[in-house]
């Protein structure tokens, strides 16, 4: 049974008329990297692992194109293959109360939600893939139901179907502030099974996990979500990975889901790691797919935001196949490559830029030791974005982590090697759920008084609740330097600040500290003006004073702070009137070179 957080009821795609459709990709393998200790993940086919080959995915899943069979991949499942049944969940993995999807979320009376309509086998505009065939009628029957996130109508789940009912009163902070507090989502799998949350990569939708769902949903209730502005989700940008995690928890809270397993790819993995750090009592087991404790450099992601702001998402869509897939897969599966490109093209640019900024600021390298849940770190052996080196950093830092390398896969390993990824996730979560014996966090919305157990239960491995962070306070004089360093790096970039620091010596270091503490820690950190406005003022002041030696750095900063090349041109034209033609002419030459460097898409 499944349900969708979109705006109209959707039918479930009928099974493939000719039986199960085969997987795309190379022959199924998943060879974990060597890992000391008894918890190392074995390769499929090794003792204690899943039988091979993994049964092919049956029928085209919604939003995922039918793919040709790659040479060497089994045409059909072996008839004797019996899927591994995970042990009965215990403790925090005890089944959730049925009908958890019937908890209503906010909706304005008479107003449809903003989510997309979906045609069978694809995702229609404004989602990433518009497939041929008619769109589903709003009253079409079927077991999938429509939720609009952040403001869907409530769903019923009786008899295997869901129907919209009258909207209820707004909930919590969403009603009080009107701010987006939830995410677009869908459920698949039995209503009484434990919940497994699955998060997407930047530029993709929940459909990137379509080929894992038939196997995983036999054992768990799969909750998938879309990032803001992805897959037709409302374009309410999130400023940080932590904010994405907060919105996810708000969505799950509204559905009565308190404890869950979590698997996420790339930025979806970052969300899972952040939740495991800030809300350890909510996450029971974790899988980080193609993820990293720090994604590249902050400069790289901020420049990517500049490119998208200037050129739109076409440059990112054009280069997505080489980042996401191995060359052999891209050549053999053009339909899947085009599907991936369309996902990027139809993403909201503002939300994509905000996600880039969130990744630029994400860095948990120093906190990995505090992740206290069983963790699988899964990476494609040929991933050039967050490859095996980043995966080994995660495994080295997380106390209870195991590493699995998937041969023949790049960044989107769940798409490129679906059988291997499904096997590894099934193995990890089955084992983790069997071993976890900590007390469940009950879902009791109408508790009148606390009930004390007659016999205290002492869990084997209790996970301590998250420690509440103190309220933020204004920086004191002692931390102006730290604040200034942070803001200076965010505005001017790590490369610029590192170069300045490298050239500082005993004669200049006090001056650099003065600049960092007062210019960046006090003035640039004030709330009175946003950074765009401060960049406009700074550009004007530099041209007026003739200090063009700093204009290149601040032109680059202006682009990162949200100014477009057209707006920078208008600023310089204004300075020509009030500061003189020669000064503005020299400034145009400097700014032109920087803008060309920063906004030219990758080849």
Neighbours of 329 (CB within 10 A): 25
In contact, 443 and 77? CB cutoff 8 Å: no
Backbone angles phi, psi at 558, to 5 degrees: -60, -40
Query: If pLDDT is split at 50, 70 and 90, which confidence band does 476 have?
Result: low
Question: What pLDDT score was predicted for residue 490?
Answer: 86
What is the average per-residue pLDDT within 427-442? Answer: 60
Closest CA to 550 of 565, 535, 571, 560: 535
H runs (alpha helix) in 107-258: 172-177, 213-216, 241-254
How confident is the model over 491-522, as pLDDT tens digits?
888 888 888 888 888 898 889 888 898 889 88
Question: Which residues, listed in sequence order, are joined to residue 155 by a DSSP beta bridge?
Answer: 164
CA distance 165 to 153: 7
End-to-end CA, the chain: 44
Which two three-digit tokens encode residue 108? 């304005």
CA distance 374 to 93: 14
Which two three-digit tokens encode residue 562? 């949200």
Question: What pLDDT score was predicted for residue 63?
Answer: 54
**Is the pLDDT reported for residue 10 higher than 80?**
no
Query: If pLDDT is split at 50, 70 and 90, which confidence band does 217 have?
Result: very high
Question: Which residues, listed in sequence order, are joined to residue 402 by a DSSP beta bridge?
Answer: 376
Query: If pLDDT is split at 50, 70 and 90, which confidence band does 206 have?
Result: very high
Which two three-digit tokens encode residue 388? 């095996």
DSSP letter (8 states) at residue 189 = S
Listed in sequence order, the residues at least 6 apart from 444 whose beta carbon sits closer than 8 Å to its beta carbon are: none
Query: If pLDDT is split at 50, 70 and 90, which confidence band does 276 have?
Result: very high
Question: What pLDDT score was predicted for residue 26?
Answer: 39
Chain position carrying tokens 């770190």: 377
Neighbours of 3 (CB within 10 A): 24
What pairing do the DSSP bridges indicate for beta strands 221-225 and 185-188?
antiparallel
CA distance 213 to 61: 9
Instruction: Compute CA distances 367 → 198, 219, 362, 399, 533, whole Å.
Output: 22, 32, 12, 11, 35
CA distance 103 to 253: 9
In contact, 394 and 377? CB cutoff 8 Å: yes
Q: Write down the pTM of the prediction.
A: 0.64
Sheet holding 2-4, edge to edge: 2-4, 185-188, 221-225, 195-199, 260-265, 283-289, 375-380, 401-406
**Is the pLDDT reported for residue 287 higher than 50?**
yes
Instruction: Compute CA distances 150 → 170, 183, 241, 269, 327, whole Å.
Output: 11, 6, 18, 22, 38
In contact, 408 and 416? CB cutoff 8 Å: yes
Question: What pLDDT score was predicted for residue 37?
Answer: 41
Question: What pLDDT score was predicted for residue 372?
Answer: 94
């Amino acid at each position: 049974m499944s349900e969708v957080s979109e705006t109209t009821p959707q039918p479930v795609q009928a099974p493939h008329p000719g039986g199960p459709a085969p997987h795309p990709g190379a022959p199924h393998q998943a060879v974990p990297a060597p890992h000391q200790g008894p918890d190392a993940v074995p390769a499929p086919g090794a003792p204690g692992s899943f039988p091979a080959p993994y049964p092919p995915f049956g029928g085209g899943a919604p939003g995922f194109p039918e793919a040709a069979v790659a040479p060497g991949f089994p045409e059909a499942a072996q008839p004797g293959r019996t899927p591994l049944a995970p042990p009965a969940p215990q403790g925090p993995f005890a089944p959730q109360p049925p009908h958890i999807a019937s908890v209503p979320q906010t909706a304005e009376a008479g107003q449809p939600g903003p989510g997309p309509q979906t045609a069978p086998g694809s995702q229609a505009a404004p989602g990433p893939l518009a497939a041929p065939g008619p769109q589903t009628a709003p009253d079409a029957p079927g077991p999938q139901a429509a939720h609009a996130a952040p403001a869907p109508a409530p769903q019923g789940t009786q008899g295997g179907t869901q129907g919209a009912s009258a909207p209820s009163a707004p909930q919590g902070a969403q009603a009080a502030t009107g701010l987006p507090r939830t995410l677009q989502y869908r459920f698949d799998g039995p209503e009484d099974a434990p919940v497994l949350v699955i998060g997407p990569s930047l530029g993709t939708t929940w459909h990137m996990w379509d080929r894992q769902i038939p196997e995983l949903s036999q054992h768990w209730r799969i909750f998938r979500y879309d990032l803001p502005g992805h897959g037709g989700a409302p374009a309410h940008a999130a400023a940080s990975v932590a904010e994405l995690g907060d919105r996810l928890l708000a969505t799950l809270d509204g559905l009565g889901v308190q404890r869950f397993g979590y698997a996420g790819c790339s930025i979806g993995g970052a969300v899972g790691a952040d939740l495991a750090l800030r809300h350890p009592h909510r996450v029971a087991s974790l899988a980080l797919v193609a993820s990293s404790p720090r994604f590249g450099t902050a400069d790289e992601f901020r420049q990517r935001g500049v490119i998208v702001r200037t050129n739109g998402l076409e440059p990112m869509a054009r280069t997505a196949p080489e980042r996401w897939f191995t060359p052999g897969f891209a050549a053999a599966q053009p339909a899947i490559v085009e599907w991936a490109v369309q996902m990027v093209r139809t993403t909201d640019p503002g939300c994509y830029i905000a996600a880039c900024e969130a990744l630029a600021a994400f860095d948990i390298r120093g906190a990995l030791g505090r992740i206290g849940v069983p963790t699988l770190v899964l990476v494609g052996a040929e991933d050039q974005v967050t490859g095996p080196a980043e995966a080994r950093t995660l495994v080295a830092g997380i106390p209870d982590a195991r590493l699995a390398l998937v041969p023949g896969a790049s960044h989107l390993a769940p798409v490129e090697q679906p059988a291997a990824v499904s096997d590894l996730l099934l193995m990890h979560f089955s084992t983790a759920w069997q071993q976890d014996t900590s007390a469940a966090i009950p879902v009791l919305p109408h508790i009148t008084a606390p009930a004390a157990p007659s016999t205290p239960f002492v869990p084997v491995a209790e996970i301590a609740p998250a420690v509440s962070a103190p309220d933020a306070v204004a920086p004191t004089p002692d931390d102006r330097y730290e604040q200034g360093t942070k803001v200076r790096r965010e505005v001017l970039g790590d490369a610029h600040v590192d170069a300045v620091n490298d050239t500082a010596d005993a004669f200049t270091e006090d001056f650099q500290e003065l600049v960092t503490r007062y210019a960046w820690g006090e003035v640039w950190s004030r709330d009175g003006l946003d950074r765009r406005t401060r960049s406009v003022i700074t550009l004007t002041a530099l041209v007026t004073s003739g200090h063009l030696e700093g204009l290149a750095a601040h032109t680059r900063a202006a682009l990162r702070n949200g100014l477009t090349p057209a707006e920078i041109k208008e600023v310089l034209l204004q300075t020509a009137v009030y500061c003189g033609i020669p000064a503005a002419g020299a400034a145009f030459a400097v700014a032109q070179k920087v803008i060309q460097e920063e906004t030219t898409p990758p080849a």
